[in-house]
Amino acid sequence: MRGTGVPSTVNRRDFILTAVSAAGGLMIGIGATPVRADGAAISTQPWNDNGFAPHEIDAWIAIDPDDSILIRYQRSEMGQGSMTALPMMITEELQCDWSKVRIEYASSNRSVREHRVYGNMYSHGSMSVRESQKMVQQVGASARERIIAAAAARWHVPASECAAAQSVVTHRPSGRTLRYGEVAAQAAKVKLVKEPTIKTPAQFTFLPRRIPRLDLVHKTDGSAKFGIDAQVPGMVFASISACPVPGGKLKSVDESVLSGTPGIVDVVKLEDAVAVVATDSFWRAKRALSRLRPEWDVGAAGDVDSEQLSKEFRAALTDRMVVARNDGDVDKAMSGARKTFEAIYETPYLSHTPMEPLNATVNLQPDRLDVWVGTQDAEAALRAAANASGLKPEQVYIHNAFLGGGFGRRDGNDEILQAIAVARVVKRPVKLIWTREEDTRQDRFRPHAVVGFKAVTGSDGMPTAWSMRVVTSSIFNSVGIPFPPGKAEPPAVDGLESNGYNVPNTRVELHIRNTHLPVWFYRAPGANQHTFAIESFLDEIASARGIDPYQMRRKLLDGKPDWLKVLDTAAEKGEWGKPLPKGSGRGIAICTFTDSLCAQVAEVTVKPNGEVKVNRITVALDTRHMVNPQTVTEQAESAVIFGLSAALYGKITIKAGAAVQGNFDTYRMVRLAEAPRIDVHLVPSGGQVWGGAGEPAVPPLAPAVTNAIFAATGKRVRTLPIMDTDLSGSA
């Protein structure tokens, strides 16, 4: 906490806890003076222990007498840069001096107490900026108007004669000025008669602006605090193993093998997991856990394997389907066709695998629960923790940290609920960490999917009708999102249903087949696998009809200037059509996701032994608008590598009901030597809608690469990962 004042809303308990923390219990005092990258700053510890500060104008903004400004960020920071971007938007409206801005997380506890003052607090669906944009602009604009009103009142002049810029209010006729810090206390009491109108992007003066993310400097010296770095006085360490077959239960475990082992606090048996709790180090708990041989009751799911699931999913392609999209009359258009094109595409389960394995540190007291965690949704985490502990939401404090990757995984709360269950037994603060193997295997996976295509073409070779039938599992069902039966849930068909091509007869259908494996949102849900399918299938048609794949897409996108702009940019910058040596090829793909558009051109070389080297990826990305183009570029680069790991190597195999791959030796990631050159071209088209930045560059990567492999070798990859297709001798 800054300053010396304690707001009246902070109760004594809060203050005592904060004081304990400040004494070093959390090891967060280190580097408390933030390094100022370009003026503005985020602390190494992104959370505020109680969610309040002196000199608040409202729940979002506090301005000290010395003009320093605190802006709260209500979502999560996992490298996507929104913790810098949203305060930039507030700065745009607040007309404040960016160099004096300090940023911290908003408290979900406060939001619960104050009628959800921070709105939605989640970071997923590439929504951190685009879903908050209007709200945070309003926050900044309102504060600015209240500051102007306070200054005008001080001068006894109409507010309309005053203007604000760079943290200074000027009375235009007289030239008098007041600094924000001089009027902030009065501004906090001002009630506006009418909310000001927010700026349109055309009226922005501060944005868009290339600014290094403010968390950067803490991520080069080890000072950035992740959830796993929390240290609470008296805490013990827990290592946990959940039933390898999801849904299974713990039958028994013989803990006598640990008797006499020093430092073991307890062996905690949960319904579906066993945890060992130890003093001094996580290693001690982990080593002891590895000596246990728990017996599990896995039921029928214990017989399931990948081969069987693949057969079942493919067989279900002829089952009854729900219609997601139906343009024209596909059956009529196909009847009597001389030739039809048909293909089946398949994509496997994937694990999210953030670099920081899931973990949570909890301090459970009779009337208060503190959780230190990196979560993509601090509000949902709070409610889940309240539920699990039996405490009221107002008694739960989520201290959100920097996230060591998320990709959709860090909002399931599994680790939080486990840590609470363990703490309830051992009655001490507990830090629970998943091993890498646990993190990979106990994932809520990217679903397995099979897509069956059928298409016919006209005399000009262009597709006139196509049908896409999907068999996959329901993410909504796994998450618990209610959805009307008889309708196709969007993530199950995204990338197919959303395709932008003018094919007059288009039908997309879905058959949901749920298994015992939980499935979840994974960076660009649906589109991350279906874009591979549709963009590859379109390539098949182009090749069979002897049409250039880029030109076929151009024709099918006729009349859509925004789509054509990204497609043409990728083709031009990616040197489409320029000759390549034998064994090399280019592929192209395009998609829309989160209201953005992205096209990519991949250039690959396939070696005689079948090894694929991706040399270069050219990205054209239209996010409609941008706050910080530097971050948008970084997200596109990130998405390319993320997509490439999945395309080349990503596969979770199921054997006896359980995930086989456990660590990076078997669940391989792209490393520096395999990383292609990436050229990102940003082509924002403007308009009413804001597009997402974190996800849309994931879906086109795989098909751009597999289409390039086809161009290089004539071999069509219809099942991911690419490493499962033997390409030796094909180039």
Partner 1 sequence: MITIDVNGASRQIDIEPDTPLLWVLRDVIGLTGTKFSCGIAQCGACTVHIDGTAMRSCSVPIGALDGAKVVTIEGLSSNNSHPVQRAWIEEGVPQCGYCQSGQIMAVVTFLKQYSNPTDADIDANITNICRCGTYEPLRRAIHRAADLMKT
Binding site for partner 1 (CB under 8 A): 27, 35, 37, 78-81, 212-213, 215-226, 228-229, 231, 237, 262, 280-284, 286-287, 353-357, 402-407, 433, 435-436, 630, 634, 637-642, 644-645, 663-665, 669-673, 675, 677-678
SS3 278: strand
Of 55 and 75, nearer to partner 1 (C-beta) is: 75
Of 223 and 600, nearer to partner 1 (C-beta) is: 223
Of 10 and 22, nearer to partner 1 (C-beta) is: 22
Buried b (16+ CB within 10 A) or exposed e, 446-469: bbbbbbbbbbbbeeeebbbbbbbb
What is the chain's alpha carbon radius of gyration, rounded to the nearest angstrom? 27
Residues facing 599 on adjacent strands: 590, 620
Least distance (Å) between residue 616 CB and partner 1: 11
- Contact partners, residue 441, CB within 8 Å, separation at least 6: 244, 351, 658, 659, 661, 662
Q: Is the dihedral of CA 490, 532, 675, 618 positive or negative?
A: negative
Of 347 and 638, nearer to partner 1 (C-beta) is: 638
Least distance (Å) between residue 356 CB and partner 1: 5
Of 122 and 407, nearer to partner 1 (C-beta) is: 407
Least distance (Å) between residue 643 CB and partner 1: 9
Q: State how beta strands 176-179 and 168-171 pair.
A: antiparallel
Least distance (Å) between residue 723 CB and partner 1: 17
Which residue, among 504, 489, 537, has the nearest Cα to 707 in the 3D structure?
537
SS3 392: coil
Of 202 and 673, nearer to partner 1 (C-beta) is: 673
The answer to whether 101 touches 67, Cβ cutoff 8 Å, is: no
Q: What are phi and psi of 372, to 5 degrees?
A: -105, 120
Least distance (Å) between residue 638 CB and partner 1: 5
Token pair 């039908």 is found at 507
Of 406 and 491, nearer to partner 1 (C-beta) is: 406
Which residue, among 225, 255, 243, 223, has the nearest Cα to 361 in the 3D structure?
225
Length, in residues, of the chain: 731
Least distance (Å) between residue 234 CB and partner 1: 14
Of 232 and 456, nearer to partner 1 (C-beta) is: 232
Of 324 and 678, nearer to partner 1 (C-beta) is: 678
Of 78 and 112, nearer to partner 1 (C-beta) is: 78
Least distance (Å) between residue 89 CB and partner 1: 20
SS3 386: helix
Least distance (Å) between residue 467 CB and partner 1: 35
Least distance (Å) between residue 479 CB and partner 1: 23
Report helix angle 701-713 to 527-544, nearest 10. 30
Least distance (Å) between residue 510 CB and partner 1: 30
Of 474 and 638, nearer to partner 1 (C-beta) is: 638
Least distance (Å) between residue 120 CB and partner 1: 21
Of 291 and 332, nearer to partner 1 (C-beta) is: 291
CA angle 243, 248, 251 (to 5 degrees): 80
Tokens of 443: 């994932």
Least distance (Å) between residue 598 CB and partner 1: 15
- Amino acid letter at 61? I
Neighbours of 479 (CB within 10 A): 16
Distance between CA atoms of residues 144 and 148, nearest Å = 6
What HEC string does 98-153 produce? HHHEEEEECCHHHHHHCCCCCCCCECCCCCCCCCCHHHHHHHHHHHHHHHHHHHHH
What HEC string does 53-85 produce? CCCECCCCEEECCCCCEEEEECCCCCCCCHHHH
Which H or E run includes 378?
helix 378-389
